[in-house]
Amino acid sequence: MSQKTTKTIQRTILVFGGIAGLIVSVTMTVMMLIHKQNPASFDSGELVGYTSMLLSASLVLKRKEEKLVSVM
């Protein structure tokens, strides 16, 4: 692989990984604030957490796929 391709791949990983991490972090912060106000509301926290991880991963993959298709 050329150095240009390597830098492009690294940049893509950092950008889309950052977006996914931001989505999961915001969801986790919101759930922590909700739990702090009402400890009984944490029953579905695990489900919300995993759902947000799957959602962020799928959104990132969808955007990446659209970007690849537009290049071809």
Q: For residue 38, report the phi and psi dihedrals to the nearest 5 degrees.
A: -145, 95
Total domains in the fold of the chain: 1
**What is the pTM (predicted TM-score) of this model?**
0.66
Domain hosting 42: range is: 3-71
The model's pLDDT over 7-63, given as tens digits with 9 standing for 90+, comes to 877 887 788 888 888 888 888 888 888 878 877 766 777 787 788 888 888 877 776
DSSP labels, 27-67: HHHHHHHHHHH-GGGGGGHHHHHHHHHHHHHHHHHHHHHHH
